[in-house]
Chains A and B, each alone.
Chain A
Amino acid sequence: MYRKAASRRLEKADTLQPVTLPFFASSDDPGPDFVELLRTLKRQPELGGTALDPTQITHATTVVAIRSDDGVVMAGDRRATSGHLISHRNIEKVFPADGLSGVAIAGAAGPAMEMVRLFQLQLEHYEKVEGNPLSLEGKANQLSQMVRNNLPAAMQGLGVVPLFAGYDSQQEKGRLFQYDITGGRYEERDYGASGSGSLHAGTVIKLRHNGNLKQSEAVDLAIESLFHAADEDSATGGPDPIRGIYPVVAAITKDGFSRIPNEEIATRTGAILANLNGGVA
């Protein structure tokens, strides 16, 4: 039975396949790894060809993560660009990864969204098959492998550089991780930033972070850092009160991932801008 099913399945990747229960001989069993399962079933599309024209690819830009005393705050601006064109005004770049962690993306939007979807599924799949969730370190490592697997696409201009943050229930604190395009994983103590405006956003946070922020202070700092990034970087979108578009901000604490309502971000942005008045050179 194993043999019959396996040979039928290993034929072609891109067509719709007859869906039968996936059983494997123990030597081919992918275990709790969903990505490996896709690979075993040859369901992963492969990229081919030469470098793509960057003006044709939608890019998502600046995201930040800031540690607070009760967890982590993650935020991202709302702009996506294709070359010099603004392709989306209200794209979202901050997502829950599972109950206790979040992922924020910068880079080529298509592969990045796909990576987030696969990452979310990977964590859930592991939890269901194994009966226990992965450790925070394990989740960070999984994402690192996904970024590394994306390296061939990155060489064609489809790089994805995410941020990962979560509440570590063993260490009882928020932790955050930065990545580079090769899948390098770097744990940061207080903050991380990724994307084209990350230099500016990171500098703002660096100057203000005292190592011990309350959640509300971290949210304000995230909004302010994205404002300054948008001020200096054309690919980062600033607050848009006319359309009511503000950064996506989420807080992760021991109670889980929760997105902060848009109205609250609007109010906080208003207060921050009022304070800046005259203070922006």
Chain B
Amino acid sequence: MNMPMYVSPEQVMKDRADYARKGIARGRAAVGATYADGVLLCAENPSNTLRKVSEIYDRIGFIGVGKYNEFDQMRVAGVRHADLKGYSFSRQDVDARWLANQYAQTLGQYFTHEMKPLEVELLVAEMGEEPCGDQIFHLLYDGTVMDTRSFVVTGGEAEVIRSRMEETWQAEAPLDSTLQQAVAALAGPDRTLEADDLEVAVLARHNGRRAFRRIEGASLVALLGEA
């Protein structure tokens, strides 16, 4: 009888985590940050069609980094989940915490039970009625959830970008300065990112029921200023 080779659980988990981390580190980073009038979602993304940033529900936005097909599958599941919940109950009953929990369950499930973990990190942002209600959830490949009211950096080189962001970020700053800081942090000292390299959207208060708006073209260039 053939005995499977023994591998310690620690080793299995470590291998899986390394695998997922490597996949995620290959991609470019993204930032979610609160500003005075809502939440900014900003990703470095040279593609115009393969989106990282998208709308989930009235006040909920999404960023996925890592493997495109995997986070896009999560995005579509999130939209379906939110729309189903809003349809069965009411639009107010759909919130980001609950969605983040669902994502965490799924990511955790993949991490421990499937052949390979999902090589993604997700960011679920919710805009509140007031600035103090804004919230960003950060989900890791193994199902870990963290929440914050300030900013989250996710994707490749996240640590470096996070420390750059920490130096400049301020609570309830206007949109243009928050965006310029995020872009500067993403670019680092040696590069500059143009409007074409970025995918930017906001969840803006006073924007009607659907708070999500993409910022593209001339309005993005204007917001970036000379930064």
A22 touches B54 (CB 8 A): no
CB-CB < 8 A to A20: which residues of B?
102, 105
- Asked if B80 lies at the interface with its beta carbon under 8 angstroms from chain A, I say yes
Write out, one digit per residue, whether chain B residues 41-65 have a CB within 8 A of any chain A CB (1) or not (0). 0000000000100111000000000
Chain A residue at minimum C-beta to C-beta distance from B109: A1
By size class, the interface of chain B is 20 to 34
A21 touches B103 (CB 8 A): yes
**40-83 of chain A: CB within 8 A of chain B:** 41, 43
A21 touches B81 (CB 8 A): yes
Known: A125-B79, A128-B56. A43 touches B106 (CB 8 A): no
B102 touches A128 (CB 8 A): no
> A145 → chain B, closest Cβ, in Å?
18
- Asked if A261 lies at the interface with its beta carbon under 8 angstroms from chain B, I say no
Chain B binding surface SS class: helix
CA distance A22 to B110 in the complex (A): 15
- Asked if B95 lies at the interface with its beta carbon under 8 angstroms from chain A, I say no
For A, the interface residue count at a CB cutoff of 8 angstroms equals 19
A1 touches B79 (CB 8 A): no
Binds A, one of B82-90, B127-135, B161-169: B82-90
CB-CB < 8 A to B81: which residues of A?
19, 21-22
Can you list 13 pairs linking A and B with CB atoms under 8 Å apart?
Answer: A1-B114, A19-B85, A20-B102, A21-B74, A21-B77, A21-B103, A23-B73, A34-B87, A37-B80, A37-B83, A38-B84, A118-B87, A125-B79
Which A positions have Cβ atoms within 8 angstroms of B?
1, 19-23, 34, 37-38, 41, 43, 117-118, 121, 124-125, 128-129, 131
Beyond A1-B109, A1-B113, A21-B105, 20 additional pairs, beta carbon < 8 A:
A1-B110, A19-B84, A19-B102, A20-B102, A21-B81, A22-B77, A22-B81, A23-B73, A23-B77, A37-B84, A38-B84, A43-B88, A117-B87, A121-B86, A124-B83, A124-B210, A125-B80, A128-B56, A128-B79, A129-B79
